[in-house]
Structure 1
């Protein structure tokens, strides 16, 4: 009997990977051919094509031909239309000739935009994207960097406080769901039911019972999707008191052992769907004996096979430290609502048992160890990231940083703004003749500009200018994105601390308007973004 780590098994897996890659490439090319997208196998798509405004993008239209489907879906996602996945052809329209799109190249910024929009529509997102020409897959870290979530954990329910953070930085329990062998019921539908509150159902994961969901899946095997639950501070309505991530592997774990291995490393618990378990599956699963992850089985009862499955599970129990509560039985007579409640309760018990917490950015280390590619590991992206780190590493106190490093936007700029406003309004003119008053205001402006002109470029502003001038076009695009993400992250951290301080001082100071006004002023000064660097350059130019 071969174990998954034996030389024979590894060789066998390599041959299987080669076969799978060949089959996947063939299936992928067939899909491209059906959709008339062959030219985009080598020439990628850019964001400006998707965002192009045309007569077709300004009206609601029903796809007539297969070639219309991808463009119709993308247009709807960009418009935050939650029916985007329900796209279907007008009855009778199946084939077409040719297509009309610009021959532009895609980059990772389009993926970032699409995933951000999909997140707003509450669609599950690709976490591990299977490769089509190799056996490797890709962790979609960069593609999710633009997603920010706000939630209210139950610990802040009474104070009405909330938390806000970039999705990739958030550490939370991850619960994974995988399939071993065939499964007669829809795993994706069950997960959508588990994540949906009792008052409102939503299809987070695509499944065969939803509109347009019964199309055969040709190239999605090996895809790992991820969705999340974020509490709103309503203890009677929230499914869970804290955020939790749910991942779903498409395809059988034996055929996609790499993705499964990744999930066993990053997950707090893994639920394995199975209809029957044999000695072959026992050998595979027993290789996980050193894993610290909790394993649960969702068993779909089948007459004639249940005794063998239970015998194997009893044999497997000491290896994977399984208890009776780790077995969830389901058959044709099982009440669906009760089973969903039982699964929710099981997840809740996992969250109450101090599970491992990990963020998507932290998953990158595990992915690299397993040979999984990271979408932001490309040279241009990392070069830009290094440039941004040189600017942002030392930023701790945003208000102090702006005062020291962005000096032209301090008191001088505020005084200048007041003078410019007065030149438009002339409210303090009094008895002074208009021309003389304007002349006085111009003199004040000139004096303030002279004071600004005495300021030198700070180190960080010099680094910013150097990056804008010398980076390659693609690196420059990455640089501005990275700078935005890092500054937003720092500003959110500062704002969170100040909000907590504000609440504490409200309790201790009562209604002291002077000190509360100072705190308000400090909170308003915590914003920091790329626009502040651009504004500083503008002030230098005008001075």
Structure 2
């Protein structure tokens, strides 16, 4: 399990999230020699074959007979090895992705240098589950919560000595529907699991069942957890003792029942847990015992696994009905500590960060009221300022007023708004946030932001749940006033780290506006862009466009990016990827899954805006990509049903989509498979047509791409196309004039054709791939191919040889036909 070049260092999340040449290869073609590398890369990519550890042989022609078990490694050994080499944040990412792959995840991770183990609470803290209990089956509602805070019964499966039954195989069947068995837990018949375990003895895995509200199709009517101890429980007494305290029932697989087994279990006679002994034997066995908490399930040797599975399920259902020993994972951590089991969250840095995050979160009783009192600058003052700045550009309400006088009037109002912002005292919550992000080292800072996001998501879930239920129940009989008020409540009840950073940006901009450079020494918030740049480099998203106010904090972003450039030694060239789509279509989930990003998801918030985050390009790949970073822009809140009745909702959506899209080299659209919403998405994207100054998207964002969306739990892949006729016409007009091109938007000024490189410095036009290119397009490409490549420092484009036969006369005829010229 070689880990070059990280043999002697702790692995971090950033080590695996950099863009390199291997990202362009198909996963099945990418096989490193190390089983550990294969596992990490595949599981982070949500590849279902991650637990298949076949590696590339040094001699590809080596005979299969030459392979020996001496070179084989158990997949659970790989898992334990990897987790011990990772820091807590990479562990958390791996466990989250394992859960998304429907793999059982580590509950107790055995130490490599002793008999102890670690309870992986932090590793599971990012997991969020959604399910539909029977009580919500009729209303089609659902319940969503952080896994670590869900109270449920736990059923543990252990082995004492040897057993003819495969414990893990039976457990997989218990959790799977009748039609198909899923491999939640690793079992002996799996590839990579038929060799001796070396370091994973005592590993305890856990998986969960969550009902879908489908009546008889649900295996269990309520959530339930299932733990699986790998190895003989007599050799792992610490793990077994823990399981006896957290389980509603412990199922013990044995070869035969004798008095020593009863003597062993008598040590736990005061336990509230019931022990269910499972034995497969034809001969009569001694079931007599004075232990009240022991039950025996005996099966004949020829009994099928299906019958055994059915009986175990029925037994578990009975315990669920009795509501025996329902616990949260957070409760289990306390039990683990009392037993001498270490807990991954109990480190000093993690606990210090948690305490500071709690100090902020405990002040949030009502989210809407908290935002009104703590985040005043991004409220009406910021929204009014946005309207003033737009009016200064558009002059829509000038009427009969003198243009210059009207502009001065608007400027005075703008100064007044900024003055009011500047005079606001910084609230305690914002002050605590600044203190927390500036005083910490990298690790503790990361912990703080993760903890704060956890608590804010928790507040959002609690506040939004009732409002969204009320929204769903609202019918057409309700007045638009009521609907609008509820929309506003939902919007006001959204709270995330982005709101804290937005408030910092407004404090910074107000101070910068009032004091300017000549009073730089008096500025208190001059270091804020430095902190924001640090967060960007660590992978946390930063708000690019405030969708509520439909405005961009230009000075704040400019100085943040300036600090980013300084911190990277002026090596900060960026490629841009933009993702557009309606609310709740899985855009953020897709980005987080593909690139390991940290856009907020699954919290039910209805934040509107565009957020950007950075991905680093590995040094050996920067020359080929032409940049050091990839900037990913994610849009939030477009066409959100809960926000549609807010003032200027459609206008804000169009502005957001238009501005976000023109910044991207690559645009991906995602939506839901409903005609009503599809039309609305098309309307948003067609807002692009109103960008008169740019006849084509900067750096050639493709006008047509395939997207996939997810609505709640149900994937809904679909295809949408952006109408490009207007763009194509503007491009042809631009090239059509022989010498010069006039633009009304530039106050009648003319631009020589040869100067297009300075007018549109990043212009790169991609034709619609769904139609046949005209002779005009073919002629333009072949004639100017080398020139374009030289101007934009790119490789010349490839085109069919027959295009060389197209003459200028044919191209002009095509162009004249297109414009109806004579």
Range into which the TM-score falls when normalised by the shorter chain: 0.7 to 0.9
CA contact (8 A) 1:62 1:90 kept: no
Question: What residue in structure 1 maps to residue 236 of structure 2?
Answer: 256
**In 1, distance between residues paired with 2:30 and 2:419?**
65
SS of match in other structure, 1:445 = helix
Residue equivalent to 1:400? 369
CA contact (8 A) 1:64 1:89 kept: no
Q: CA deviation at 1:444?
A: 3.0
Structure-2 separation of matches of 1:59 and 1:38: 20
Q: Which has the higher contact order (CA 8 A, sep 6+)?
A: 1
1:319 aligns with 2:287: no
Give the alignment of 1:58-457 within 5 angstroms: 58-61=24-27, 67-90=33-56, 106-301=86-281, 306-307=283-284, 310-311=285-286, 313-315=287-289, 318-322=290-294, 326-423=295-392, 427-430=396-399, 438-457=407-426
Q: 1:422 to 1:86 in 2, by over 3 A?
A: farther
Q: Partner of 1:210: helix, strand, or coil?
A: coil
1:499: how far off?
A: 3.0
* C-alpha contact 2:153 2:323 (8 A) present in aligned 1: no
- State the distance in 1 between where 2:310 and 2:428 align: 57
Question: Structure 2 residue aligned with 1:48, among 1, 14, 19?
Answer: 14
Q: Does 1:36 align with 2:24?
A: no
CA distance in 2, matches of 1:478, 1:367: 22
1:462 lines up with 2:431 in the alignment: yes
Check whether the contact 1:192–1:205 (CA below 8 A) recurs between aligned residues: yes
- How far the C-alpha of 1:153 sits from its partner, in A, is 0.9
**2:122–2:345 contact (8 Å) kept in structure 1:** yes
Cα pair 2:31 2:38 within 8 Å, conserved? no
Aligned residue among 450, 455, 460 for 1:491: 460
Deviation at 1:233, TM superposition (A): 1.6
CA contact 1:286–1:320 (8 Å) conserved in 2: no
Query: Per-residue CA shift, 1:252-285, capped at 9, x if unaligned?
Result: 1111111011011011111111111333222211
Q: Alpha carbons of 1:435 and 1:73: their partners in 2 closer, same or farther (altered >3 Å)?
A: farther
The answer to whether the 8 A contact 2:32-2:56 is kept is no
CA gap of 1:235–1:442, structure 2 versus 1, over 3 A, is farther
Looking at CA atoms only, which structure, 1 or 2, has the larger radius of gyration?
A: 2
In structure 2, the partner of 1:480 is 449
2:478 is aligned to 511
* CA deviation vs aligned residue, 1:225-276 (integer Å, no higher than 9, x gap): 0001111121132211111111100111111111011011011111111111
- Structure 2: where are the runs of 5+ without partners? 61-66, 73-84, 511-822
Normalising by structure 1, what TM-score?
0.84
Structure 1 residues 466 and 321: CA distance shift in structure 2, 3 A:
closer
Tell me how far apart the structure 1 counterparts of residues 30 and 44 of structure 2 sit (CA, whole Å). 20
Q: Secondary structure at the match of 2:174?
A: helix
Structure 2 contact 111–118 (Cα < 8 Å) conserved:
yes
Change (3 A) 1:281 1:400: same
Q: Judge conservation of contact 1:295–1:320 (CA < 8 Å) in 2.
A: no
1:527 maps onto 2:527 in alignment: no
Distance of 1:295 and 1:420 partners within structure 2:
71
d(CA) in 1 for partners of 2:235, 2:90: 30
CA contact (8 A) 1:182 1:275 kept: yes
Inter-partner Cα distance in structure 1 for 2:6 and 2:436: 32
Taking the aligned partners of 1:214 and 1:425, their CA distance within structure 2 comes to 71
Q: What does the per-residue CA deviation read over 1:360-415, in whole Å, with 9 as the maximum and x for residues that have no partner?
A: 11111100110000001111111111111211112111111111111112222222
3-state SS of 1:542 partner:
helix
Q: Deviations over 1:37-91 (max 9, x none)?
A: 4996752111111212221233125589874321121111111112211231357
CA contact (8 A) 1:224 1:248 kept: yes
**Distance apart, 1:434 and its partner CA:** 6.2
Deviation per residue, 1:489-516 (Å, 9 max, x gap): 1111111232345467x38x95233223
**CA pair 345-417 structure 1, distance change in 2 beyond 3 A:** farther
> Partners of 1:319 and 1:232 in 2: how far apart?
38
Q: CA deviation at 1:136?
A: 1.4
Query: Unpaired segments of 5 or more residues in structure 1?
Result: 1-34, 97-104
Alpha-carbon distance in 2 for matches of 1:157, 1:328 = 34
- Aligned partners of 1:384 and 1:476 also within 8 Å: yes
Q: Which residue of 2 aligns with 1:540?
A: 507
TM-score w.r.t. the length of structure 2 is 0.56
